[in-house]
Every structure is written in structure tokens, then in C-alpha cells.
Structure 1
Amino acid sequence: MKKKITLISMMALFVLMTACSSGGASKDGVKQAADPNVKVDPFKMPNPIEVTTFKSLSPGAKLPAGDTVESNQYMKYISEKTNINFKILWYAASQDYDQKMKLAIASNDLPDVMLVNEQIFLSLAEAGQIEDLSKVYDKYASPLAKELYASTNNKAIEKATYKGKLMGIPNISVQADAASMAWVRKDWMDKLGLQPPKSIDDVAAIAKAFAEKDPDGNGKADTIGIAGFEKALTVSGKAQRGDFKGIFQAFGAYPSNWIKDSSGKAVYASILPETKQALGKLRDMYAAGAIDKEFALRKDPNENIVSGKAGMFFGPWWSGGLVADALKLNPKVDFVPYLIPDAKGTVNTMMVPVSTQFIVVKKGMKNPEAAMIYANTFINAQRKVDPDALKLDFTVSAEYWPIGNSTYDYADAVERKSDTLKKAMGGQIKPEELNPEMKELLAKATRDKANPKADLKDWSGYYGYTVPADLLKMNMNKVYSEFTANTKTMERKWVNLQKLENETFFGIVMGEKPFDSFDKFVTDWKAQGGDEITKEVMDEISKSKK
């Protein structure tokens, strides 16, 4: 009887210790208590194990003196926290890494765990080279990890699911990065007696006035309406400073993406009538001088924005840093962001793919749960909810984490942080209730409120969570890419198809080709491999859902 009581006591103590070790998750930036229902330790293997991996490193990634790829603060942190000792079989940069990875996959010479892109993930899953992690996720995913995935409305888990099985642990992209805002100089609008833009026609009229009416008052015709750069005519998931994504989306156009047509089939959006419409508007704006005449040659539009020559640019919610650079030269600069709706008043947004990278486990690995335990621990460190993670020097490239860098956050992280900051500023949340990240944001906002823009690092460090974040909370028509990987024909023909598209689009916008050359582009695109690729894309989508 005495032995039974002792055993029961020990089991109870183990469960209690396990629950405590899960750490306090952080919801909306406010500390949360640990989940008492956790039955296993999602953060530590019971005994030390060795796990092999490959690593991709960029040439510019640096380490402190004395550290190596195999031995550095991130490797030690994971080892101490998880009992997992990573052995790096090899590491390489960019093209060398891709080539070595392809050879390893072809020979099935894979490490235990690795981080891969969507294309490799799908090929490994189809070939049966990786483990089904469905049970591992159900049993070992930490409360915070599950909370982050829930914020994607299950889209991240769906992205990592192949034929009904969870074949990888997906990253989570912050969806706020998708929105393309028109950042307009309000000081120039005020000087010229202009009202804020409410439509794409307003954008065109304001930009034309900025280019023609000497808003900077220097008596020279040297101002630019809309700043742009060489990649402005493609619409990526992530909004880029200087792109024309916000203009395309005002016509419901999403060139460079695969979307659903009215019948529910996947179609390449670059060949749709909406894209032709948007190109026509851009053509008119360019001819009217509303768009930077040199945009097609610019690698980066920032120079004209910072120098005070451009009155408008399209960019993401976090563009406050660029505005701060302009403020250093001219304290009167006042860029204000706006979202531009379509003709029906709807704001359209091509969203960031919810997941682009996946932690996968080699088929037959003895301890597949190690991958989830690693992910849980990495998430706790990245989100800075583990106090020990605060001791790490995050200026050291995150590429040196054992299996590389990827983002795991709430899909709506920006909006959540915005709400938390607003409540903290209003006294509804006490500073001591905030996690470290939100404490830092509150400190910056408080200092800036007392002395506006005296420290531009403070201002730009929190500004994105105010006015821009409020725009993100508007109702939007959120469009997701149906396919973000490659097909066999793409590998052979996509480069030429992209060249055809770029030459046609730039030619139309800059007036070097007739507007109706778009129709010939569509015909040629289909004939030169587009129809074949479209069929393959539809087959891949169907295959992954079976």
C-alpha cells in the first residue's frame, strides 16, 4: 500500500513538473498561465539524443568571434532546453545548397530533420520519404504553437497536409505584410488643397498634381508623383515598398499569382481581363507624368522618398522606418497611409502564403517527436515568452539556429499587438502584465507621446501598430494564391514565359507597345506552355487534396 501511494505521488509530481515546464504562453502580448492539461513535456526529450540536419547559410551571415556553425548560442540553447543535440552533416549557401539538397533527395540520403520549401516538401511527401506527423502534432504541440496555428483558421495545417496526413510542421507568415498601402504626403496635399484619396482616380489625380505643381516650393519641376521600382508590375504576397500592388488590386488584378476563376478553377491571373484594365490605368498615369519616369530602371525607390522628391509610394504597414529616414532630412514630411478600394468600394488584398517553409522528418526516424519539441522551443524563443531566451543576442543571424530561420507568429500578430498597445496606453492593461516585446513597444510609445518624434527610432518602432494597423482591421476581400510551388513544365518553360510577360507589361505601361498587345500576350502565353502548365497546376492541387 505504501509503495502504491509513493508511485501515485511520483506520477502526480511528474505531471505537475511537466505542466510547469511548458512555460507561460503569451496571448495578444499578455502573459498566460501554463496549460495544466499537458500530459507530456512538449519542450524536452526525456534523454539526450542526436539529430542530424542540413543547413542553408547566406554568405553575409556572421557569428561572434569563437563561435562556429556547429557551436554557437542558438545550438547551445536548444541543446540545454530540449536534450536535442543537432549534428550538421553539411552546410552551404544558396545555389550550392539547392544543388546538394537535390542530390541528397535523389539518393534518399536525408538527415533526420530539415527545413524545406514548399516545392521540396511536396516532392518528399509524394515520394514517401518523410514521416506522417499527425500523431506527433496532436500529442506534442505546445499550447502556444496550437494557438498560433489556430490564428490561421487552420490554413497553415492544411498547407502542411498531404493526402489527409500532416507531413510537416509549417511556419506561419504574418498576414499584415500583404496589404499594400498608398503612403501619401499630407503636407503636400494640404499645400495644394487636395483631399485624401478614396479611389484609384484620386490617386492618379493627386500624383499628377505632385509632379506638376511644385509642392516642395523650390521653383523647379523636379518632384515625382508615385515612386516605383523595377519589380513594380508584379504582385507578390508580401507588399513591397515601391510596387504597384495597390493599383493592380483596385482593379481586382493579381498578376503573377494563381487564383480561382468564377468556376472555381485555378487560373494564372496575369492573363485575365482585370490585369489588362490595371495596365491600361498605369499606362495612362505614366503618360500623364504621375509615375516616376525612371521606375523601370530603379533597383530601389527609397532614394526619391527619403530625399523628399516623391510624394507617394505604395508599401506595407511597416514603412515607418523609411518615413523616419525622410523625416531626418525634413521634419515637415508627413506621409499618411491609405488603403485604395476598387470601383465598388471593396479593398482587395492578395495575401501572403500562410506557410512557405516546413520542418520535415525523415521516414523511419526513431524519435519524430523531436521535430515538434524543437519547434515548440524555437517558437517560445522567437516570441520571447521564455525568460531564458531574453539572454540571447538576437543581433546574431537567426540562420544559425540548428535548422535555420523561419517565422512562427499569430497570423494576425500586427492587429493583436495594436489592440494590446492601445489598451496598455489607455491603462486597461498594466505594464507588468505585458510580455517583453509589448513592454518595449509601450515604452517607445510612451516616450514618443511625451516628446513627439524627438527620437525617430522610438517613433518608427511603434508607429506601424497605430494608424497603419488600424487600416488592417478594415474589412477586405482577401485573396489567396491557389498554387505557390512549381511543376515539371514550369521548370523548363517558366523563364521564357516570365520574359514574355515582363516585356509585354513594361511595353504597355511605358507606351512602347500598343495597349492591345496584351491580347497577343495571352495567346502566346497559352501556346508557349501556359495551357500545359495550367493543367499541371490543377492536377497538383487535386493530388494534394486527395
Structure 2
Amino acid sequence: MANKVAGAAAVAALAAVALAACSGSGSGAPGTTNEAKGNESKAPPKIYIYQNTGALNQKPEGSVPEKLEEMKKMYMEKLGIEPIAIVPPKGSEAEKLNLLLGSGDEIDTFQGNWDQYASKGAIIPLNDLLDKYGQDVKKAWPAEAWEYMTDKNGNIWGIPRGEPAVHYPIWVRSDWLKKLGLAMPKTVDELEAVLKAFKEKDPDGNGKDDTIPMMTDLNGIKNAFMGGYLDNGNSNWVDPADGKVKPAELAPGFKEFVAKMADWYQKGYIYKEAFAKFDPLELLKTNRVGTSSMWYSRITLLFPQIKPNLPADANYEIIRGIQGPKGKLMTASPSSTTSMVITKKAKHPDAVMKFINHQYQDIPTNSLTAAFGTNWKYIGDSKFEIEMTSKDITYAGEYMVSLGTATELKYAFQDPVKKMHADYLTKEALNLSVAKMPMDAKIMYDKNALKENIPTLGDLDRLRSEELVKFVTGARPIAEFDKYIDQLYKAGLDKWIAEYTRQYHALKK
């Protein structure tokens, strides 16, 4: 119920913004500044930053006031801009944002999905601002990232937060491979042989039949394995027979993929609680997990924490180049429309862009300062490894507006526990050659239109997740797969196909 109320509030707030824009209130054309009159024109322009980027995770309540004031003065001296941070209430960030957008209060920039806010007239396109004041922002992000910020008319609506990446590699205990005399698998069949050996030959040496050959979850099996069975991987696809966009369930190879996962589950190769709630850290602590196909950080962040308590040679390595019947196993994660945007209400959009651009100058120095203030330093001369100078966090990062791969992959903490994670981000995450990209990765579907034109969209999404789990766990036999497809059609799949097809052809660049 709360979500419905919040959603209604969002629509109302954005509608109010659009109305205000049509009535002439708010800023002038993008790239212009509404100069104050008289003596006030000498005052630095104020910009209002709604800090919902996640920068405050280190200190959600915000900075010590004196430290925040010091940072403000630094920016005023360097840039001639006075930044004012708006710290949203924890847990009510969306509600507060909607209230600000629909009121007379000032808010100039925030993080959001640009397609949601552009459609309501709440934000402005950034093309001219980027050309005049955001040259460093433009250089920092690759063309692939900007594609997700751009509509079919060429309007750029936001500054990227991320770019396409690989998030579901398969990790294997390489020390167990060595112990059992096994080679690194290169095919699904060879991986299955490894899982079988891990299950039957007690590689952890505890004398019990309790080894967990694979730790995974629903997203793990879809994104780490489906590519080996479907031409487009975990993706929609265009049926050449009729030119319509259809879900993966209707693609050739999907049934074979499900059957393979169900077979592995029945044989005990997949963790029995994979599709329920479980704690990956606690599972890794048992020294019983042979492989993982979950989100990469389940290994990169968790394994280093417990490695000192495992056998000295314990190690997880990525299985590289592994192939299925239809090629690469992994499906890459496309980027999204999440971005830093500038509101229609902004009185000084040029100052906002100048402020953001500064953090993309001298990467990563300026972005680190925006995130940590003066509480950090480089180690040696590398300008890559850093360390915090104090454990006490006094400045929380209210002025940080440059989060994302363009800045955050340019440094790493010198910390053995964090090294594995940093290495993955800097050396593996953006290597898209190892995975398949979803067919419609660059299509920004209109989510509101999807909901309006597919009345049973929620039911279909639920069915697709719940029934896949049932098939894999054996709660539903593979023999009923055709009945499942009929069930999807009865739940409105025809309308799903029609709307996705309509949008795909309308939005394809």
C-alpha cells in the first residue's frame, strides 16, 4: 500500500513540475543563468544538491556541520559556486524527492532514472551544458555509457552512473581442482564433471558427504548459464518468423537450459537452499563451497574476509572462456537510465554542470575529495592506491556527484581484504568480450506504458520467476513445460509481446 501511495505522489509531484514548467516558472533555456539583480549578482550562484547517490553510506546522518562548512567554502573559493546539500531522511529518500520536485523549494540536481523524469518535464536535456561546461564529464564516459543517456531524438538527459558490465562469472576452488587432479573446465560438460567430483570425492577433507558443488541463486543461474543455451542469453529476442519481441522462455534452447539446471539440482550439485534466503558469508565459512555463480562480490568481498580461517592454499579463480552448446555462458548486464540529472527548476544550470565537471577533472583526485574531504591520501606516487588518514568520518560526502565506473575504478584502497574486489572491478568487470549482451540492451522501454498496456505485467513477472524455480527444484516436472507456456499466454503474454514489440521498433535507433 505504501508503494502505491508513494507512486501516486511521484506522479502528482512530477505533474506539478511539468505544469510549473509550462506556466513559465523555473529556469530559462538550458545553459543560461538567471542573474540576480544589483549587489546580489556578485554573490556566487547557489546550487542545491539532493544527495541520494549513495555517497552517504559511510555516514548516513551526514557530516559534522563544521566540516561540511569547510568543504562548502573550499568549493566557493575554487569554483565561485556555493553548493548546498540536501540530505534526505533515511528510508524516505523517494518521498522527500517527490515533495521537493512538486513544491516551490529549490532542488537543482539529483540521481534518478532520466526516462522517468524527462517524460514528466521535470528535468532538462544536457547537450549544450555538456558542450560548454562539461567537457571533462564527456571525456570520462565511453560512448556506450552515453547511449543509455540519450533518447531517439539525440537529447542527452543525464550523466551516466555506470556502463555495461559482467557481474556473474563462475568462480571455482582452484585448490580443490589441483587436489583432485582436475583441469580448469572449458565446457559445460567439463564443469559438470567437476561438480560431480566435488560432490563425491570430499575435496574439503572433512570426511562427510556435505560438499556444496555450486553456490548460486535465481539471477546466478540465469546470468551465468543461460547464454550457453540461448543465442541472446538471458534476454528478450526477436523471433525471425514474425519479427516480434518475445521473452527468453519462448526462445530455442530455453527448455534445454532449464532441464540442465534441474538435473544439476536433483543430483545435488546446486545448493539446496539456492532459491531461498541464505547467508553467502556463513556458507563460505564452512569451507564446503566448490563454485559460485552468484553476483561477483559474493566472492570478491566475502572470501577475503574468511580466507585466513580456511586452509592456507584455499583460493577461488574465475573459470575463463567456458562454453555451452551455443557459446558463451554469461550474459552481461546492460547499463541503465540511472544518472545525475539537472532539474527544470534549476536557476543556475551552468553552475551545476561546472560543479559536476570539476569532479571529473584530475580523476580520481577531485572525486575522492568530494567523497572523503581531506580524510584520504595517495600511497606512494601511483595516484591509484589510497588510504584513509583517520577512522573518524567527519565529512560524509554530501557534495559527491561523480559516482560510477568512470571515477570509482580509478582508485583502490590498499587493503588485502579489498584487493580481490578492486582487481575484479578494474580488470574484469568491463571485459564484455566474455559474455553475451542482451538483444535489446540499448532500448529504454517506457515503463509506464508497459504497465498501462500490459495489465497483467506483475502477474507475468511473478510467474516467470516462480515457475522457473519450480522447474529447477523439481517442484514442477519438465514434462509440463508446454503447459507453462500456455499458462503465460493465459496470463496475458500476447499483450506483453505486442507492447514490447511496439516499443522496440519505435525506440530502436
Same fold (TM over 0.5): yes
- Partner residue in 2 for 1:502: 465
- Partner residue in 1 for 2:374: 392
Question: Which amino acid is the alignment partner of residue 490 of structure 1?
Answer: K
Q: Per-residue CA shift, 1:84-107, capped at 9, x if unaligned? A: 32345672344x3334444555x4
- Partner residue in 2 for 1:67: 64
- RMSD value, Cα: 4.0
Q: Per-residue CA shift, 1:94-129, capped at 9, x if unaligned? A: 4x3334444555x475744222432xx224323434
- Partner residue in 1 for 2:201: 213
Matched, 1:134 2:134: no
Which of 139, 143, 147 is the equivalent residue of 1:158? Answer: 147
Q: Within 1, Cα distance between the matches of 2:221 and 2:279?
A: 10
- Partner residue in 2 for 1:56: 52
- Partner residue in 1 for 2:485: 522
Higher deviation after alignment, 309-318 or 331-340: 309-318
Give the superposition deviation at 1:217.
2.0
Contact 2:53 / 2:111 at 8 angstroms: preserved in 1?
A: no
Higher deviation after alignment, 502-511 or 273-282: 273-282
Question: Which amino acid is the alignment partner of residue 337 of structure 1?
Answer: I
Give the superposition deviation at 1:336.
1.8
1:464 to 1:124, Cα distance in 2 relative to 1, 3 A = closer
- Partner residue in 2 for 1:246: 224
Give the superposition deviation at 1:275.
3.0
Question: Aligned with 1:51: secondary structure?
Answer: strand
Q: Within 1, Cα distance between the matches of 2:508 and 2:234?
A: 23
1:184 to 1:173, Cα distance in 2 relative to 1, 3 A = same
Question: Which amino acid is the alignment partner of residue 293 of structure 1?
Answer: K
- Partner residue in 2 for 1:374: 355
- Partner residue in 2 for 1:426: none
Q: What pairs up with 1:446-465 in 2 under 5 angstroms? A: 456-457=416-417, 460=420, 463-464=423-424
Contact 1:133 / 1:368 at 8 angstroms: preserved in 2?
A: no
- Partner residue in 2 for 1:180: 168
1:538 to 1:314, Cα distance in 2 relative to 1, 3 A = same
Which of 269, 273, 277 is the equivalent residue of 1:290? Answer: 269
- Partner residue in 2 for 1:427: none
Q: Per-residue CA shift, 1:142-177, capped at 9, x if unaligned? A: 34x22222x2xx23323222342434232242544x
Question: Which amino acid is the alignment partner of residue 247 of structure 2?
Answer: Y
Matched, 1:406 2:403: yes
Higher deviation after alignment, 390-399 or 366-375: 390-399
Contact 1:244 / 1:314 at 8 angstroms: preserved in 2?
A: no
Q: Within 1, Cα distance between the matches of 2:288 and 2:360?
A: 42
Q: Within 2, Cα distance between the matches of 1:362 and 1:332?
A: 54
Question: Aligned with 2:341: secondary structure?
Answer: strand
- Partner residue in 1 for 2:308: 328
Q: Per-residue CA shift, 1:498-517, capped at 9, x if unaligned? A: 32122211110011101143
Matched, 1:233 2:218: yes
Higher deviation after alignment, 379-388 or 195-204: 379-388
Q: Within 2, Cα distance between the matches of 1:299 and 1:379?
A: 39
- Partner residue in 1 for 2:385: none
Which of 155, 162, 170 is the equivalent residue of 2:159? Answer: 170
Percent sequence identity is 22
Question: Which amino acid is the alignment partner of residue 379 of structure 1?
Answer: Y
Q: Within 1, Cα distance between the matches of 2:373 and 2:87?
A: 28
Gapped runs of 5+ residues in structure 1? Answer: 1-44, 235-241, 418-436, 445-454
Q: Within 1, Cα distance between the matches of 2:318 and 2:95?
A: 43
Give the TM-score normalised by the residue count of structure 1. Answer: 0.69
Question: Which amino acid is the alignment partner of residue 62 of structure 1?
Answer: K
Give the superposition deviation at 1:137.
1.2
Q: Within 1, Cα distance between the matches of 2:425 and 2:86?
A: 42
Q: Within 2, Cα distance between the matches of 1:66 and 1:104?
A: 22
Q: Per-residue CA shift, 1:424-456, capped at 9, x if unaligned? A: xxxxxxxxxxxxx3xx78xx6xxxxxxxxxx84
Question: Aligned with 2:491: secondary structure?
Answer: helix
Q: Within 2, Cα distance between the matches of 1:84 and 1:337?
A: 47
Aligned length in residues: 445
Higher deviation after alignment, 187-196 or 373-382: 373-382
Matched, 1:83 2:83: no
Question: Aligned with 1:360: secondary structure?
Answer: strand
Question: Aligned with 2:406: secondary structure?
Answer: coil
Q: Within 2, Cα distance between the matches of 1:392 and 1:281?
A: 53
Contact 1:175 / 1:354 at 8 angstroms: preserved in 2?
A: yes
1:514 to 1:63, Cα distance in 2 relative to 1, 3 A = closer
Question: Which amino acid is the alignment partner of residue 52 of structure 1?
Answer: Y
- Partner residue in 2 for 1:197: 185
Higher deviation after alignment, 193-202 or 109-118: 109-118
Question: Which amino acid is the alignment partner of residue 148 of structure 1?
Answer: A
Higher deviation after alignment, 165-174 or 483-492: 483-492
Question: Aligned with 1:509: secondary structure?
Answer: helix
- Partner residue in 1 for 2:383: none
Question: Which amino acid is the alignment partner of residue 374 of structure 1?
Answer: F
Q: Per-residue CA shift, 1:21-63, capped at 9, x if unaligned? A: xxxxxxxxxxxxxxxxxxxxxxxx9961012344438796626
Q: Within 2, Cα distance between the matches of 1:92 and 1:470?
A: 32
Contact 1:283 / 1:511 at 8 angstroms: preserved in 2?
A: yes
Contact 1:286 / 1:510 at 8 angstroms: preserved in 2?
A: yes
Give the superposition deviation at 1:260.
4.8
Q: Per-residue CA shift, 1:463-489, capped at 9, x if unaligned? A: 5479x6499485554336234662345
Question: Which amino acid is the alignment partner of residue 309 of structure 2?
Answer: L
Matched, 1:146 2:138: yes
Q: Per-residue CA shift, 1:180-236, capped at 9, x if unaligned? A: 2221112212222222111112222211221121112222111111012xxx223xx
